[in-house]
Structure 1
Amino acid sequence: MSISKRIKVFQFGFLLLANLMFSCQKEAVEPVGPKDNIAYVLEVPANFPQPAATPDNPLTKSGVELGRRLFYEPLLSSTMTVSCASCHHQDRAFSDGLILSNLGISGKALDRHSPALFNLAWANNGLFWDGGSKNLESQAFGPLTHEDEMGIYFPEMVDRLMAKPSYVSLFKEAFGENPTAAGVVKALAQFQRTIISANSKYDRYKRGDRKVSFSEKELLGMQLVQAKCAGCHSSELFTDNNYHNNGIDADFSDDSKDWVYKGRYRISYDSKDLGAYKTPSLRNIMVSAPYMHDGRFSTIDEVLQHYRFGIKSTKYTDRLLFQDNGNAGIPLSDKEVEAVKAFLTSLTDETLLSEAKYANPK
């Protein structure tokens, strides 16, 4: 059944049942109305741009807390064994360390690598590797309903949440209503927008922390990244939130039903987007291996080797990867590679990896 049909079933067929279920629990639950909800003030790092406003789903303390609980909640999967956190581990910057995850309900490997999740409040140009979702709210419907990921039927999901007085109360407090599929994705989006990575050694150095200094190797690495990588990994976010063909493939034929191997072209139908995938942030890259949309590179050395010597030159390969003489590749000496790696290590945010407010509350 399609997502739209599932939502309609929920809206028209399950509303009465939900109301009846809540009325039975009314004495046990004393929900707080949305009028008492307190805004969650996102702490924007001094060296970050302002994120886009989300007037249709403003951050609130109760909405964020509900989203955190739902992120770790296996009741959102059909088998009650898989949660969002199954493929997004905090100690890996909310990635999973697998090439292609097989941790979903079917046990089958997915077609794409699970991306890291942080600084998504600034993800203003689509989500998923090909930008197939416009925002975090719509993005959540994908893994929730995918037959190999969480595979949930929304009325069943709402039924489970309604059976738990704590969730009924939390939804009432956050949205002024009983649990709904729309409320689930809104809460998940709110929580994810609060996951901010901005306390790495690099950030403290940039903010002028006198206790932090960069070695000559780290300084050289920073200069090299700024000079040779900033075409895609730009700004303090270390991503341009755009899509590029980075020369890892030369053949873009694809007979799969969903065209998952055509990159951004699957969404845009623009030939220039063949093999183009979203630029991941360089932040926390040293703890979020493997790399690329399909997890094909196991180490950062393999990634740098690709950009030095492995780029496939096609008419779709991004021109940013060509030198002035027309040759493909980013020239780096072995010494410079070590400097780049030293700088990338400085982008690891240990606070993000252990911060209690992002962890499982149960």
Structure 2
Amino acid sequence: MIPGINRLTILLMAVMLNACDKPGLVLQQKPYRFQVPAHFPEPVFDTENPMSQAGVQLGRMLFYDKRLSANNQVSCASCHDPKLALSDGVKLSNAGVSATALHRHSPALFNLAWANNGLFWDGGATNLESQAFAPLTAQDEMAQDLDQLVIELNAVPAYVSGFQQAFDEPANAQNVAKALAQFERSLVSAGSKYDRYLLKIKGETLTDDELKGRELVRQKCQGCHVGELFTDQSFHNNGIDSDFSNSEHEGIHQGRYRITYDPADLGKFKTPSLRNVSLTAPYMHDGRFATLEEVIEHYSGGIKGSATLSSRIPEGGFHFSKQEKKQMIAFLHTLTDDSFIENPDHGKPSDH
């Protein structure tokens, strides 16, 4: 833990987890103590799924369990690696049951307790509970039959006791989603070099380039990458395309329009956080940019104009100098949270 930051704390007092095919799992039934980092806004928990220690612990087990897929070969972690801030480092994943490449890039998973304006790149899921069912049942992802999954889980003594302790009832599809959502809400990233500097911890400093980069990001990027979460949780057309007439794959490349059918939403995608951005390449909803340098080049001079282009982006781009590009990237690297990616409470249970 980093002194001075009111970070997320997980009060785990249970004995070590038994393997999932063994009886005797003991989960903590106490409420979960969600601590908001000192410089973060208060999250709004608009859900009928209060967090408990047992629920978070159960969600973590499920997140890493390949039983959640039809072929017992794919887990949530197959596309969300803790070492990559729970992204996957792949442009378009083919890790699913069908081994077919997906049409969108897998997002990183952190600070989701604040994600109250829709999930997925187009906001197609209202909350984490509803979001969970999409990858669980999608044919190119986990392709699981939910009734079959419940049968499998209720045949495992550790899950029988785990669901009973977390939800006071046997496993069912709704509570699978609830447990996964509780674990995902527990994933708080607020311990980067930038955070230590901001909170004046142990005299942390930023270099001249990092400070100048911070100011550039404030001036040019924080219209969308707002505040200390570095996202406004909203949807914007950032000029990576100008033609949205191709509606193949159920309009998946049309952005928010696919959900709202409002022409003003064509090409608008959810603003990802800039936190841990050096770990989450490639970038954009389709992973088209391999490096941060390519992303900065896009905003500098690669903007494609259209009727729905964000008013916060000049049509010709920002025209950053070579020095400014270097400074912005230097600052973005200060947002890497090593304490988050190394947190053992986020990884696979050791005996799972």
Q: Same fold, TM exceeding 0.5? A: yes
What is the distance in 2 between the residues matched to 1:54 and 1:360?
Answer: 28
Partner of 1:250: 242
Provide the C-alpha distance between the structure 2 equivalents of 1:205 and 1:31, rounded to a whole number of angstroms. 41
Q: Does 1:91 align with 2:83?
A: yes
- How far did residue 290 of structure 1 move? 0.1
Match for 2:309 among 317, 322, 325?
Answer: 317
Residues 339-350 of structure 1 correspond to what in structure 2 (within 5 A)? Answer: 339-350=327-338
Q: Within 2, Cα distance between the matches of 1:51 and 1:294?
A: 28
- In the alignment, structure 1 segments of 5+ residues that lack a partner are 1-27
| Aligned residue in 1 for 2:162 | 170
8 A contact 1:199–1:351 mirrored in 2: yes
Partner of 2:140, secondary structure, is: coil
2:11 aligned residue: none
C-alpha deviation, 1:255, in angstroms: 3.5
Aligned match for 2:320, one of 326, 332, 338: 332
SS in 1 for 2:248: coil
Give the aligned partner of residue 230 of structure 1: 222
Partner residue in 2 for 1:200: 192
User: Using the alignment, how far apart are the partners of 1:184 and 1:210 within structure 2?
Assistant: 42
Give the structure 1 partner of residue 133 of structure 2. Answer: 141
Residue number in structure 1 paired with 2:10? none
Partner SS, residue 115 of structure 1: coil
State the Cα distance separating 1:106 from its structure 2 match: 0.2
Q: Distance in 1 between matches of 2:247 and 2:217?
A: 37
CA distance in 2, matches of 1:244, 1:350: 29
Which sections of structure 2, spanning at least 5 residues, go unmatched?
1-21
| 1:106 and 2:98 matched | yes
The CA distance in 2 between the partners of 1:95 and 1:63, in whole Å, is 23
Q: Is the 8 A contact 1:31 1:173 kept in 2?
A: no
For 1:354, the aligned partner's letter is E
Answering whether residue 64 of structure 2 is matched by residue 72 of structure 1, we say yes
- Shift of the alpha carbon at 1:316? 1.4
Q: In the alignment, is the contact (CA less than 8 A) between 1:31 and 1:172 conserved in 2?
A: no
Aligned equivalent of 1:281: 273
How much does 1:211 deviate? 3.1
TM-aligned CA deviation for residue 210 of structure 1:
3.1
Which amino acid in 1 is paired with 2:322?
D
Q: Distance in 1 between matches of 2:316 and 2:210?
A: 26
Equivalent position to 1:82, from 55, 74, 96: 74
Counterpart AA for 1:318: S
Residue 261 of structure 1 contacts residue 275 of structure 1 at CA under 8 Å; is this kept in 2?
Answer: yes
What is the match of residue 359 of structure 1?
347
CA distance in 2, matches of 1:69, 1:214: 38
Kindly state the Cα deviation for residue 30 of structure 1 after the two structures are TM-superposed: 7.0
What SS does the aligned partner of 1:272 have? helix
The structure whose residues are more often helix, as a share, is: 1
Superposition deviation, residue 52 in structure 1: 0.8
Q: Sequence identity, in percent?
A: 51
Q: Which amino acid aligns with 1:126?
A: G
Q: Does 1:305 align with 2:293?
A: no
Q: Is the 8 A contact 1:233 1:281 kept in 2?
A: yes
State the 1:313 CA deviation: 1.0
Aligned to 1:21: none
For 1:102, the aligned partner's letter is N
Q: Deviations 1:33-72 (Å, cap 9, x if unpaired)?
A: 9xx8211111210000011124500010000000000000
Letter of the structure 2 residue corresponding to residue 317 of structure 1: L
Return the index of the structure with the highest Cα Rg. 1
Give the distance between the partners of 2:23 and 2:241, measured in 1 at CA: 56
CA distance in 1, matches of 2:107, 2:239: 19
207-216 vs 293-302, which moves further: 207-216
The superposition leaves residues 197-234 of structure 1 with CA deviations (integer Å, 9 ceiling, x where unpaired) of 10000001111113311111111011110011000001
Q: Which residue of 1 aligns with 2:108?
A: 116
Say which of 30, 40, 54 aligns to 1:62: 54
* C-alpha separation in 1, matches of 2:202 and 2:342: 24
Does the Cα contact within 8 Å between 1:250 and 1:314 map onto a contact in 2?
yes
Residue 258 of structure 1 aligns to a residue whose secondary structure is helix
| 2-structure distance, mates of 1:312, 1:155 | 46
Partner of 1:239: 231
Q: Deviation of residue 155 (structure 1)?
A: 1.1
One-letter amino acid of the structure 2 residue matched with residue 169 of structure 1: S
- Tell me: CA distance 1:224–1:339, structure 2 relative to 1, closer, same or farther (3 Å): same
Q: Which residue of 1 aligns with 2:13?
A: none
Q: 1:85 to 1:31 in 2, by over 3 A?
A: closer
Letter matched to residue 97 of structure 1: G
Please tell me the root mean square deviation across aligned C-alpha atoms, in Å. Answer: 1.5
